[in-house]
Structure 1
């Protein structure tokens, strides 16, 4: 029996095979090599700089956001009347140290996340634009940012788990806290929960890559539209106020659409409650708190992420242009 026709629309017995026809694995390897040729470590350094700077300034608001996100009625949790009451209570009980609980993994996580995100995003974007004169479409920016987000999450999820655990230590006495610091938390989570413990919240985190994808798509489209309106090149340097405005608009848009995943992820990573998975979190949150439960902590989150995003993008744009020799 002769072989069935293959993808070349001919018989496998009669089709001549070119000796230099690349196989699929070879093609994939070649594509990866081409992708890595667009990697610029300056983007990594600039992204890390922006992430670290914004975290140092605004970490207390991140702490408040997480405490509100997990406030599901458990007796052990402290009750807060609002964002400022929460900050005041933490300050009175634990001082400045209390407001900066979890700052070490937050610096590592935010710095690494922004660094890797810009690192991968710019490489993927350049790879997709190879040999083209036209700009990437909004959909292509969206896909490039989503791919960068997935790669970044795979590398940084354990850091976010430790940050959440450290932020949710309510005891003011350091000797009675479950975790002494970032490395201690990483070690204990791995020892007691294994690799799955370090990747708690990974599934909603994957869903959350849509947040970064939407943000970068809107940011790129705003820059392109503005430069086109001003009759400037698409990569022209903008003013400080222009970068801040575009970063803020893109961040608010992304947060408004995707915030519930952050609540789900924070609750999965919380050491004070046990959920069997994403569906269990969604079902119990909806049953006990309704739709409002999925938006707890959104106000302090917006107050934090909007200036944080502005700081990050301004630092990134200026540091990357300086390192790449594009500054004026």
Structure 2
């Protein structure tokens, strides 16, 4: 199965050329689309982002801490948060929150939207459960589609989070829309898609997380001798989400450092290989794991909140329908 038929199926049907089965597959995928999954995922992403955005700001500032003089120096998570609070107050801790809400809400909404449609298409006409590999592939395809739509939002978030109060020249963006316009005006479409390549690798993060989450839920329900789609308690969803997130973060974190550095406006790299080479040369292996502690502290509860909200909202909406 592949997500590639997207545009190709339209061309086939409009031109009348052979290959209509491609269009048929495209239509069958969309027969599994549920707006409820989009709304539920968006709700989970927005709630978790509002609660935990300050930790995301800390994570990004640590991820790009490569020794440039203009960057503030922090000794730890609490020191970073206190410094930002003293200099800029609550508003400083929520720099970049607008694109983060848009990005997280849209990403989670689209991810669940695409993932459930692809998963439904893959399972169509089958009695058996999907395998771990099929869950992995479905989640990876959903991740690629989601990233392609949302990457410009993540670039603006990174730029806004990296506006340091001590350096007046770096305060070049007034907000999300202003950042989008200026990035496009000065850097074009490539500027809006900085970090896209490591982001594509990052879809493996979501794929591994969803695979682990699905497998944990299924095995747990088998252990309890109940149907695999049985509703779990909030605490059980939290446990499954936390374990799957920890597994995914531990496996794929370095790509987030590479991506953040490519999107950083204070340093120039000539691509992914240049980031990897310079980070390794100047900081060693530990450089690829900068910010992982605040990241784990942030993403684990964020994931738990997102999945609990998603599972309950989707069941409510789909049950109501």
Cα drift, residue 231 of structure 1: 1.0
Pairing partner for 1:208 from 198, 202, 211: 202
1:101 is aligned to 2:73:
no
Higher Cα Rg, which structure: 1
State how far apart, in whole Å, the 1-side matches of 2:131 and 2:17 are. Answer: 30
- What is the CA-CA distance between 1:51 and the residue it aligns to? 0.1
CA positional deviation for 1:76? 0.5
The one of 221, 224, 230 aligned to 1:230: 224
Confirm whether residue 145 of structure 1 aligns to residue 136 of structure 2: no
Cα distance 1:219–1:167, how it changes in 2: closer, same or farther (>3 A)? Answer: same
Partner of 1:12: none
Check if 1:132 corresponds to 2:126. yes
What secondary structure sits across from 2:270 in the alignment? coil
1:81 partner SS: coil
Shift of 1:23: 6.7
Aligned residue among 54, 57, 63 for 1:69: 63
What displacement does 1:119 show? Answer: 0.1
Query: Which residue is equivalent to 1:89?
Result: 83
Please tell me whether residue 56 in structure 1 is matched to residue 50 in structure 2: yes
The residue aligned with 2:279 is 285
| Structure 1 residue aligned with 2:9 | none
What count of residue pairs does the alignment treat as equivalent?
306
1:221 aligns with 2:215: yes
* 1:172 shift after superposition: 6.0
Residue of structure 1 equivalent to 2:290: 296
Structure 1 residue matching 2:194: 3-state secondary structure: coil
1:174, 1:180 within 8 Å by CA — same for their partners in 2? no
Pick the aligned partner of 1:41 from 32, 35, 39: 35
SS in 1 for 2:319: coil
5+ residue gaps, structure 1: 1-21
Question: Displacement of 1:178 after TM fit?
Answer: 0.4
Q: Quick check: 1:38–1:126 contact (8 Å CA) kept in 2?
A: yes
TM-score (norm 2): 0.93
Q: CA deviation at 1:151?
A: 0.2
2:11 is aligned to none
Match of 2:182 among 179, 188, 193: 188
SS in 2 for 1:325: helix
Match of 2:153 in 1: 159
Query: 1:5-24 alignment to 2 at 5 Å?
Result: none
CA distance in 2, matches of 1:173, 1:296: 22
* Partners of 2:221 and 2:228 within 8 A in 1: yes
- How far off its partner does 1:53 sit? 0.1
Query: 2:237, 2:308 within 8 Å by CA — same for their partners in 1?
Result: yes
**Structure richer in helix, relative to its length:** 2
Q: Which residue does 2:109 correspond to in 1?
A: 115
5+ residue gaps, structure 2, are 1-15
How well do the aligned residues superpose, as a CA RMSD in angstroms?
A: 1.5
**How much has 1:173 moved relative to structure 2?**
8.7
Contact 1:166-1:179 within 8 A present in 2 as well: yes
Name the CA shift for 1:67/1:171 in 2 (closer, same or farther; >3 Å).
Answer: same
Question: Residue 263 in 1 paired to residue 257 in 2?
Answer: yes
Q: Specify the SS of the correspondent of 1:101.
A: coil
Q: Distance in 1 between matches of 2:42 and 2:27?
A: 24
List aligned pairs for 1:309-324, cutoff 5 A.
309-324=303-318
Give the TM-score normalised by the residue count of structure 1.
0.91
Cα deviation digits, residues 151-205 of structure 1 (max 9, x gap): 0000000000000000000026989710000000000000000000000000000
CA distance in 2, matches of 1:233, 1:120: 24
